[in-house]
Amino acid sequence: MLRIGLTGGIGSGKSTVGRRLAELGALVVDADAVAREVVAAGSPGLAAVVERFGPGILAADGSLDREALGEVVFADSRARADLEAITHPLVGRRTAELMAQAAPDQVVVYDVPLLVEKRMGDEFHLVVITDARPDVRLRRLVEQRGMQESDARARMEHQASDEQRLAAADVLLDNNGAQGDLDAQVQRLWDDRIVPFEANLRAREAARRGDGAEVVDYDESWPLHAERAIARICKVLGERAPEIEHIGSTAVPGLDGKDVIDLQVGVSDLRDADDPAFVDALAAIGFPRIEDVRMDHPKEQLPDPSLWVKRYHGASDPGRLVRLHVREMGGAGWQYALLYRDWLRHDRQARDDYLREKQRLAAQFGGTDGYAEAKEPWFSQIWPRMQEWARHSGWKP
The pLDDT assigned to 266 comes to 97
How far is residue 234's CA from residue 227's CA, in Å, rounded to a whole number? 10
Strand boundaries in 268-385, DSSP class E: 311-314, 322-328
* 15 pLDDT above the threshold of 60: yes
Residue 113 lies in a domain: yes
pLDDT tens track for 295-334: 998 888 888 999 999 999 999 999 999 999 999 999 999 9
Q: Looking at the structure, do residues 193 and 237 belong to the same domain, yes or no?
A: no
Name 271's Cβ contacts closer than 8 Å, sequence gap at least 6: none
Distances 308 to 134, 162, 227, 282 between C-alpha atoms, Å: 52, 43, 26, 22
- Strands of 243-247's sheet in order across: 243-247, 261-267, 322-328, 311-314
Query: Average pLDDT over the chain, rounded to whole?
Result: 92
- The model carries a pTM of 0.90
The pLDDT assigned to 6 comes to 97
CATH at 193: 3.40.50.300
Q: Looking at the structure, do residues 44 and 126 belong to the same domain, yes or no?
A: no
Q: Looking at the structure, do residues 366 and 339 belong to the same domain, yes or no?
A: yes
Q: Give the end of a domain, one of 203, 230, 254.
A: 203
Q: Looking at the structure, do residues 19 and 163 belong to the same domain, yes or no?
A: yes
Judging by beta carbons within 10 Å of its beta carbon (0-12, 13-18, 19+), is residue 44 exposed, middle or buried? exposed
- Percentage of residues in the chain having pLDDT higher than 70: 98
Determine the longest span between alpha carbons in the chain, in angstroms: 81
Q: Looking at the structure, do residues 228 and 295 belong to the same domain, yes or no?
A: yes
pLDDT tens track for 136-149: 988 888 888 888 88
The pLDDT assigned to 381 comes to 86
Q: Looking at the structure, do residues 262 and 388 belong to the same domain, yes or no?
A: yes
CA 178 to chain centre: 28
> Would you list which residues are annotated within the binding site?
11-16
- Number of CB atoms found within 10 A of residue 175's CB: 25
CB 327 within 8 A of CB 273: no
pLDDT tens track for 262-282: 999 999 999 999 999 999 999
Q: Give the end of a domain, one of 103, 127, 150.
A: 103
Give the helix/strand (H/E) hosting 333.
Answer: helix 332-346
CATH at 304: 3.30.460.10
> Would you list which residues are annotated within the binding site for ATP?
11-16
The pLDDT assigned to 119 comes to 93
pLDDT tens track for 217-246: 999 999 999 999 999 999 999 999 999 999
Q: Give the end of a domain, one of 144, 175, 203.
A: 203
Judging by beta carbons within 10 Å of its beta carbon (0-12, 13-18, 19+), is residue 67 exposed, middle or buried? exposed
Q: Looking at the structure, do residues 327 and 385 belong to the same domain, yes or no?
A: yes
The pLDDT assigned to 287 comes to 98
> What are 111's strand-pairing partners?
6, 30
The pLDDT assigned to 70 comes to 84
Residue 217 lies in a domain: no
The pLDDT assigned to 212 comes to 57
- pLDDT category at 213 given cuts 50, 70, 90 is low
Give the structural domain span for 80: 29-103
Domain count, the chain: 3
Residue 208 lies in a domain: no
Q: Looking at the structure, do residues 120 and 253 belong to the same domain, yes or no?
A: no
Residue 211 lies in a domain: no
Q: Looking at the structure, do residues 226 and 272 belong to the same domain, yes or no?
A: yes
Half-sphere exposure of 1 (CA within 13 A, CB side): 19
Q: Looking at the structure, do residues 87 and 118 belong to the same domain, yes or no?
A: no
* 368 pLDDT above the threshold of 70: no
Residue 212 lies in a domain: no
Q: Looking at the structure, do residues 271 and 353 belong to the same domain, yes or no?
A: yes
> What are 299's strand-pairing partners?
302
Residue 376 lies in a domain: yes
Q: Looking at the structure, do residues 128 and 255 belong to the same domain, yes or no?
A: no
> What are 29's strand-pairing partners?
110
Residue 215 lies in a domain: no
Mean pLDDT (whole number) for 242-251: 96
The pLDDT assigned to 48 comes to 95
